[in-house]
Amino acid sequence: MDNTSKRVGVIGGIRIPFCRNNTAYADVGNFGMSVKVLGALVERFRLHGEELGEVAMGAVIKHSSEWNLAREAVLSSGLAPTTPGITTARACGTSLDNAIIIANKIATGQIEAGIAGGSDTTSDVPIVLGERFRKRLLAINRAKGWQDKMAAFTRGFSLKELKPSFPGVAEPRTGMSMGDHCERMAKEWHIGREPQDRLALESHQKLAAAYEAGFFDDLVVPFRGLKRDGFLRPDSTMEKLGTLKPAFDKISGHGTLTAGNSTGLSDGAAAVLLGNDEWAARRGLKVQAYFLDAEVAAVDFVHGEGLLMAPTVAVPRMLARHALSLQDFDFYEIHEAFAAQVLCTLRAWESETYCRNRLGLDQPLGSIDPAKLNVHGSSLAVGHPFAATGARIIATLAKLLEEKGSGRGLISICTAGGMGVTAILER
């Protein structure tokens, strides 16, 4: 952003409680959850009938009929129907990506304000027909007469063709799940079971404390009988976590990733309102923090790099643009896809070899103060509806900076496909 760009304010965010799949939101779907959070944002910031420059929403797992989920949700949100909507997806980074889209449009003066968010459900997933049966149906549709249609239906038909295909969690290039990849990372970086369980426990403890203190009172809107996240376990202990068996590497006897230190399949949605100073002032709205910059990176995980290590590459690029060190932050919001991923990231930044050979730095980025990391808990305790996590983190961090009165926060989100999306907020 150059000197002529507009400052991009984070005005505030809303989310519904995140919950386990096949529970409270099993029959709601992405559209219903998106409408709920957009409507709640409209209510909170008095945006009824307002035309915004853009609403960017996203979903990773969605039906083909939801090709423009954002636009459809806008039409049911209370915003002016003249507000455009765009639907995106970049796995776990989706709604942070959407914030980048909105922020860039505001910074360049294309729009004054917009909403970024995302929704995901692993309850209401699309069920796809097998390839042979799909081609058979297409052939039937192309056939002209009933005899040709019947021939297309019966020729070589097998009942096996009726077996449906469910969305998979494996990386198409490797056939390995994200958990399998992260287990490999944990072994490479020598991340043991105990520190992973400790990080997970602390996430639950910090989230529970934040709820008790009322921090989420204006960030989380009740929905479907839930007032708090369905994953939150305030009574969790190291002993309980220690009883869980490995979830991915179940054979070698050295698996360290479990259901307790990995995020579970989740349903939920979140959204955040962004705008320039003038737009906010005209409506009597306060800016909580400013969106300073962002960076996206990718790694060659197919040929050996850790699938979830791309944020380690993105962050130093972003820091260099602003002559910042890794220690120049008051808060660090590192998405807890797996406790091991967070710990691998931190260890990589501390490694002289990695920072020199992979990042091209003269010295390690160094350590961060653990007291500043995910201070109100993160995905291990909150849950992780893929496309909603970025907006959740932005809203949390912006409020933290507002409460502090000044400062700077770093956001780091790893994604499937070997990518990472990062950003800096400041006040």
384 among known catalytic residues:
yes
From CA 334, how far away is CA 28, in angstroms rounded? 29
Consecutive H or E run containing 427 = none
From CA 151, how far away is CA 141, in angstroms rounded? 12
- What confidence tier does 95 reach under pLDDT thresholds 50, 70, 90? very high
From CA 341, how far away is CA 306, in angstroms rounded? 9
Distance of CA 8 to the CA centre of its chain: 21
* Confidence check: pLDDT of 3 > 80: no
Mean pLDDT confidence for 308-336? 98
Look at residue 283 in the predicted model and tell me its pLDDT: 97
Token pair listed for 371: 């007291």
Mean pLDDT confidence for 289-309? 98
**Per-residue pLDDT tens for 98-116?**
999 999 999 999 999 999 9
**List 182, 344, 355, 414, catalytic entry:** 414
Task: Count CA within 13 A, CB hemisphere, residue 231.
Answer: 29
DSSP state of 371: G
* Confidence check: pLDDT of 158 > 90: no
* Confidence check: pLDDT of 123 > 60: yes
Mean pLDDT confidence for 319-335? 98
**List 19, 63, 92, 190, catalytic entry:** 92
**List 204, 335, 376, 384, catalytic entry:** 384
Name which residue leads in pLDDT, 209 or 146. 209
Mean pLDDT confidence for 150-155? 88
Token pair listed for 363: 């010295």
Cβ neighbours of residue 139 under 8 Å, at least 6 residues apart? 152
Look at residue 127 in the predicted model and tell me its pLDDT: 76
Helices (H) and strands (E) in the chain, counts: 14, 10
Mean pLDDT confidence for 369-393? 98
Look at residue 2 in the predicted model and tell me its pLDDT: 46
**Per-residue pLDDT tens for 23-65?**
999 999 999 999 999 999 999 999 999 999 999 999 998 888 7
Percent of the chain surpassing pLDDT 90: 87
Cβ neighbours of residue 293 under 8 Å, at least 6 residues apart? 1, 318, 321, 322, 423, 424
- Answer for the pair 129, 137: CB distance below 8 angstroms, yes or no: yes
- What confidence tier does 12 reach under pLDDT thresholds 50, 70, 90? very high
Look at residue 64 in the predicted model and tell me its pLDDT: 80
- Mean residue pLDDT across the chain: 95
Backbone angles phi, psi at 423, to 5 degrees: -160, 165
* Confidence check: pLDDT of 164 > 80: no
> What is the reported pTM?
0.94
- Tell the residue number behind the tokens 């923090």, with chain if given: 289
Bridging pattern class, strands 54-58 and 85-88 = parallel
* Confidence check: pLDDT of 1 > 50: no
- What confidence tier does 168 reach under pLDDT thresholds 50, 70, 90? low
**Per-residue pLDDT tens for 233-258?**
999 999 999 999 999 999 999 999 99
Burial class (CB in 10 A: 0-12, 13-18, 19+), 404: middle
Burial class (CB in 10 A: 0-12, 13-18, 19+), 332: buried
> 3-class SS at 360?
coil
How distant, in Å, are the alpha carbons of 59, 246, 355 from that of 68?
A: 10, 39, 41
Angle between helices 339-350 and 310-321 (to 10 degrees): 50
Mean pLDDT confidence for 313-325? 98
From CA 3, how far away is CA 266, in angstroms rounded? 41
- What confidence tier does 4 reach under pLDDT thresholds 50, 70, 90? low
Look at residue 169 in the predicted model and tell me its pLDDT: 72
From CA 56, how far away is CA 114, in angstroms rounded? 8
Look at residue 161 in the predicted model and tell me its pLDDT: 82
From CA 169, how far away is CA 61, in angstroms rounded? 11
Burial class (CB in 10 A: 0-12, 13-18, 19+), 213: exposed
